[in-house]
Structure 1
Amino acid sequence: MGGHSSQSIEHGITPIQQMAASCSGALLTSLLVTPLDVVKIRLQAQKTPFPKGKCFVYCNGLMDHLCVCENGNNKAWYKTSGHFNGTADAFVRIVRNEGIRSLWSGLPPTLVMAVPATVIYFTSYDQLCMKLKVKMGDHAQFAPMVSGAVARVGAVSVISPLELMRTKLQSQKQSYRQLATCVRTAVEADGWLSLWRGLGPTLLRDVPFSAMYWYNYERSKKWLCERYDAVEPTFTMTFVSGAVSGLFSSVVTLPFDVVKTRRQVELGELQAMNLSHKASSTLSVMKRIVAQHGVLGLFAGFLPRIIKVVPACAIMISSYEFGKALFRKHNQEQTLKPPQTSKT
């Protein structure tokens, strides 16, 4: 019974169905987590209003992306109307004054970046992990760690040039023809690698996070199944495993996140202004933070990151596993159906 179940878990779903499950997971996570970022950015804007051309990082727990401020009041999530006395007050006053829909004002750019990145990431992870578990034999418990790291490199590398192009479009309202000219000029001046500018600091944080996340997630899930004598993990088990693993990975990789955010904003501002000179290196940014704020400066934003990433990880993985379970059940039902004889 256990062997048959394990076989169905590994092989009972197609890559297309994995993509559909991860896509629905990304949509659900973005819908639930976006209001947190909208409120955070409003609070940031009231402390230091964003000048024209200024970048900030927008993140829904799955994928970060840059947003360029064109005008202090032209988009809902830049507005600085009123004064908020903290997160709860901001939620209440935004809903009361602007309507509940304004909490999702940042959703379109989130979906543009998060959905394709998540589909690539989760599907690659599953496919790679399945193959590595067979090849690694006695060391199969490390397959999630390797698969998570490799899948993250792939997803971030594919999305990186799109991020650069979207930053330029957003900052200058260029047409696609102008954007193509701009990209061609950049490639002629600095080579094709210029399209992946800023990839290094992103990988420094995302790859260790992904390796730790998947390793701990699979271990936690297995432990919970054994603890409660379950053949397959329940929705609650995957939710708890995702939350615990997301918490641990977030804490360990926080210094890289702080450095990466600084560098991403700096590079985004250079890209928005079509400047090709290089931003500061990761090491120099780290040294600058320590010199200005001490070692604790590398752990800035601890609470907001935990509040955002932990529920995002839990929602994403549990909804993904739930979607896969539905497809698996559907596939098994289709297999068990007697073949229909065609009428002649």
Structure 2
Amino acid sequence: MPSEGVNRALVVKSDNMALLDAISSSPLVKSFVAGSFSGTCSTILFQPLDLVKTRLQSTITIPSGGAGGMLHIVSKVVRNERLFGLWKGMTPSIYRCVPGVGLYFSSLHWLKTHLCEGHPGPLQAIALGAMARTVTGVTMIPITVIKCRYESGVYAYGSVREAASSIYMKEGARGLTCGLLPTLLRDAPFSGLYLMFYTQTKKRVPTQLLENHMAPVIHFTCGVLAGLSASAVTQPFDVVKTKMQLYPQKFTSFPQAVWYVNQKYGPMGYFKGLVPRMLRRTLMAAMAWTVYEQITKSFELK
């Protein structure tokens, strides 16, 4: 009997090792793991900027998303919810970004490998980045809605499960997918433009700098430059997305939300929360790509 137990344990161990070997040999799995790890690091670090951005876009008392508005929101959150209130919405952010970033990088790796042999040109980079982000955006839209409502302070949910259940019971499936169009109009162009700016900037860096200890600094710098450009272009869609996800009963269509923002705030209303979003998206994307590049290098995955 003891020998049977030992044999069974050896078989299970052998099966587990075989599974691990299969996973470790899969480029898509490696991309997913590297992306998920990079997403975790950047999400935790930059969550306060995302919260400030959402609060700026949801309030009607702050006319702009500049430094003054940011400081007002930060001081208000710290005063009413203490310092850790700046990390409100961390749980849904982790639920969204960890698998979401992993899915984005693994989708992007597959697309680059099969459509352009791993070396996309400028227009190809825009198309591939947009396609990979569209897959991720559609898949993760329910948790994106929950995350937005958590951060806004408008809703008081005790947990992600409670939020999902409450939204579904009151609003049905539509409530968990509201704001999908502006989300895709924001994220797909951002990712496409980001990938184009990032790859083209990196191509202009001497190869020897990308192969020594300066590589992480170079990757991060390229990421920052790409993020600033892509964030500014896609900011209006982020404002409209926030309005639709926070007030789905009021904004039942994308044109209606666009019209409201213009009527209420004027053209500058489309850029509320621009500063914290540019900081967060730029630094988060730059860090995610830097970590991803380093991990894929250790995985020997290119």
For 1:26, the equivalent position in structure 2 comes to: 39
If the length of structure 2 is used for normalisation, what is the TM-score? 0.70
From 259, 262, 265, the equivalent of 1:290 is 262
Residue from 115, 131, 150 that aligns with 1:132: 115
Query: Over aligned residues, Cα RMSD in angstroms?
Result: 4.3
* 2:100 corresponds to which of 96, 106, 117: 117
SS of equivalent residue, structure 1 residue 134 = coil
1:220 aligns with 2:215: no
Residue among 236, 248, 272 paired with 1:255: 236
CA distance in 2, matches of 1:211, 1:306: 16
2:64 is matched with: none
For 2:283, the equivalent position in structure 1 comes to 311
Kindly report which structure 2 residues correspond to 1:186-205, keeping only aligned pairs within 5 A, or say none.
Answer: 196-205=177-186
Equivalent residue letter for 2:30: Q
SS of structure 2 residue aligned to 1:122: helix
Read off the aligned partner of 1:244 and give its amino acid letter. L
User: Partner residue of 1:80?
Assistant: none
Call closer, same or farther: CA 1:243–1:13 in 2, change over 3 Å. farther
**TM-score of the aligned structures, taking structure 1 as reference length:** 0.63
Q: Assess if the C-alpha contact under 8 Å between 2:179 and 2:242 holds in 1.
A: no
Q: Give the counterpart letter for 1:258 in structure 2.
A: V
Of 89, 93, 116, which aligns to 1:106?
89
Q: How far does residue 261 in structure 1 lie from its aligned partner after superposition?
A: 1.7
**8 Å contact from structure 1 (residues 13, 324) kept in 2:** no
Judge which range, 24-33 or 196-205, deviates more: 196-205
More helix by share: 2
Structure 1 contact 13–327 (Cα < 8 Å) conserved: no
- Give the distance between the partners of 1:325 and 1:253, measured in 2 at CA: 31
Tell me if structure 1 keeps the 8 A contact 2:53–2:277: no
Q: How much has 1:140 moved relative to structure 2?
A: 4.1
Question: Identity over aligned residues, as a percent?
Answer: 26
1:327 is the counterpart of 2:295: no
Gaps of 5+ in 1: 1-11, 49-83, 271-277, 332-344
User: Unaligned regions of 5+ residues in structure 2, if any?
Assistant: 1-24, 62-67
Q: CA 1:41 to 1:285, structure 2 compared with 1: closer, same or farther past 3 Å? A: closer
Tell me the CA shift for residue 88 of structure 1. 9.1
Question: Is the Cα contact below 8 Å between 2:49 and 2:277 reproduced in 1?
Answer: no
Counterpart among 12, 19, 30 of residue 17 in structure 1:
30
What's the CA shift string for 1:33-59, capped at 9, x where partnerless? 0233456678899987xxxxxxxxxxx
Offset of residue 309 of structure 1: 1.6
After superposition, the C-alpha distances for 1:284-325 in whole angstroms (9 at most, x for unaligned) are 322232233322222222222222221111111111111111
Q: Take 2:117 and 2:266, find their aligned partners in 1: how far apart are those partners?
A: 46
From 192, 195, 220, the counterpart of 1:211: 192
1:130-155, Cα deviation, whole Å (9 max, x unpaired): 221139x9x74433221111111110
CA distance in 2, matches of 1:156, 1:166: 13
Q: How does 1:152-163 map to 2 (within 5 A)?
A: 152-163=133-144
Indicate the residue corresponding to 2:3 in structure 1.
none
